[in-house]
Structure 1
Amino acid sequence: MHEASQPAPWKMGDAPKDLIDTMVKAIVALEIEITTLVGKSKLSQNKEVRDIQNAGEMLNARGVNGMGEAMLAAAAAKSQ
């Protein structure tokens, strides 16, 4: 995926057979039942106010107004 645009992208099939065999033996399957989902917003709270404001303004300029306004509100709250 990350090398797809390269002139000669690397593929898993390019790896030595012994490496692939070792990796295949290490694969473990598991199943997890999801019982609850909790959404969180990361609005760069760990950044300086000017950085949060800039991100909010850039998002608004790109038409991502909901997130942009949320970032600007977070910046305003942090500056108080």
Structure 2
Amino acid sequence: MTTRSPPWWCTRRTGLVANHLPFEWVDGALHGHVARGNELAKLDGAEVVVIFKGPDGYISPNWYPTKAETHREVPTWDYAVVHVHGRLKVIADAVWLRRLLERLTDHHEATEPQPWRITDAPDDHIAQSLRGIAGLEVSVERIEGKFCTQNHPERNRLGAIAGLRRRDGDGDVELAALMAKQEAPKP
């Protein structure tokens, strides 16, 4: 099981709807949940896109060695993203929901000194909480991944990696690591 948070969620059934939700990958489908009052809980069968955003960042032309030589470079924005297209199924089954919540909390509580478990709360409280949520399952029809880095010579790409590491802003180190992995020699 893997979970990623927060993806962006969009559907076109009643216009665009966006939510930030954690999902888990289970046997070729995405599983998550929302409060029953959330508009997604009413969109059973809708076509959806779940977007998992990776690192992204501004790339200065000053980081490219060729800029000093030609002055023909411009700023860019590099990013990594995955779009998962599928159909939404809304689930009200309490057993399914409880298993989902157990998996999610076990995963996210794993690093805590004393992990919280659903069994730590009174049964009546959990039962009431389960009545207040709707399960979401996205049957995956298509997955599109995009890693947008500019088509530059190796020395410019290495300059961008070095610039991101130097700047060390929000997500810069992660983007630099991803770019460096792409630069690594293939076996």
Q: Place the TM-score, normalised by the shorter chain, in its bin.
A: 0.3 to 0.5
TM-score, structure 1 as length reference: 0.41
* Greater percentage in strand: 2
**Structure 2 length as normaliser, TM-score?**
0.23
**More helix per residue:** 1
